[in-house]
Amino acid sequence: MICQVCDKLSHSAKKCYHRFDVTYHENAATSNNLHSLMATTNAVSESNWHPDTGATHHLTNNMANLNLRSEDYTGTDQVLVGNGASLHISQIGSSILTPLKTPFVLKQLLIVPKIQKNLISVQQFCSDNVVYFEYHNRFFLIKDYSGKILHRDTFKDGLYSFSSLSDTLPPYALTAVRASYQIWHNRIGHASFPVLQKSISAFTLPVAK
C-alpha cells in the first residue's frame, strides 16, 4: 500500500499524518522536481537499527518493522528529540529482531513518521530480553547474565548498528496442495453443487482429481 498523500509505504491516505497539513502538500508539490533530479545512495527509509542509551522507547518510521502486532496510537504523548522538537507518534506495537540465530523482542515499538533513524532503547531492550550490552571500540556484544555471547555486531560510520529487520527475517518455504470437492464444499459454507462448481470455475480454485 502506498499513501496518496505522502507517497510512503504501509499506510493509507486516511491514516496519513500529513492529510490535513496544507503546508506539507505545498512543499511536496514544489519539491517534486528537485527530488527527481537528485541522485543518492541512501535509502528513503533507514534500514539499520542503532542502540541508544538515551532513548526511552524503540523508534522507527517504517510500519513494516512492526511484525508482531500494531495499533493506532491514541495518546497525547510525543517524542522529544535532541534539537527540542516534539515528533508525532502514529502507531505502537512490537516486533522481533532476528540477527543471526538469536531472536530479540522489541516491545513498545513506536512508529514516528519524522524520525530519521531506527533506534533501540538499550534500557528497554535489556529489560525485555534479560541481557546486557558490552561496547568495544569497533563492535558491541549482547550477553546473557551467564556471560554467554548472544550477538555481536558492528561499529560503522560513527554508530553501533544492528542489521535491519527486513534483511534478517528467516526465509520460509511454501507449499500448495490441491483440495478435493468435499473440502471446498466445507470451506465455502457447505454450498450446493452448482454454486460450488461456479465458485471453483470463477476463481480457478485448484481441485484434486
What is the helix (H) or strand (E) element at residue 202, kind and residue range?
helix 193-203
Query: Residue 143 pLDDT > 90, yes or no?
Result: yes
**Of the given ranges (42-46, 55-59, 82-86, 128-132), which has the lowest mean pLDDT?**
42-46
Q: Which residue has the cell 513498545?
A: 108
Domain ranges of the chain: 1-39, 44-168, 175-209
Cell of 28: 511536496
Query: Residue 67 pLDDT > 80, yes or no?
Result: no
Q: What is the dihedral sign for C-alpha 187, 191, 197, 203?
A: negative
The strand pair at 132-135 and 118-121 is best described as unpaired
Query: Residue 175 pLDDT > 70, yes or no?
Result: no
Assigned fold of 44-168: Cathepsin D, subunit A; domain 1 (2.40.70)
Residues above pLDDT 90, as percent of the chain: 19
- Using alpha carbons, select from 23, 17, 38 the residue that is nearest to residue 6: 17
Residues above pLDDT 70, as percent of the chain: 75
Residue 72: band (very low, low, confident or very high) from pLDDT cuts 50, 70, 90: confident
Per-position b or e across 74-106, b if 16+ CB within 10 A of its CB: eeeeebebeeeeebebbbbbbbebbbeeeebeb
pTM over 0.85: no
Tell me how far apart the alpha carbons of residues 89 and 61 are, in angstroms, rounded to a whole number.
Answer: 9
DSSP states of 150-196 as a string?
A: EEEEEEETTEEEBPPHHHHSPP------PBPHHHHHHHTTS--HHHH
Cell of 186: 466445507
Residue 163: band (very low, low, confident or very high) from pLDDT cuts 50, 70, 90: low
Q: What is the pLDDT of residues 79-132, one digit of tens each?
A: 888 888 889 998 888 888 876 567 888 888 999 988 888 999 999 999 989 999
For residue 65, the SS3 value is helix
Query: Residue 39 pLDDT > 60, yes or no?
Result: no
Tell me how far apart the alpha carbons of residues 204 and 195 are, in angstroms, rounded to a whole number.
Answer: 14
Query: Residue 61 pLDDT > 80, yes or no?
Result: yes
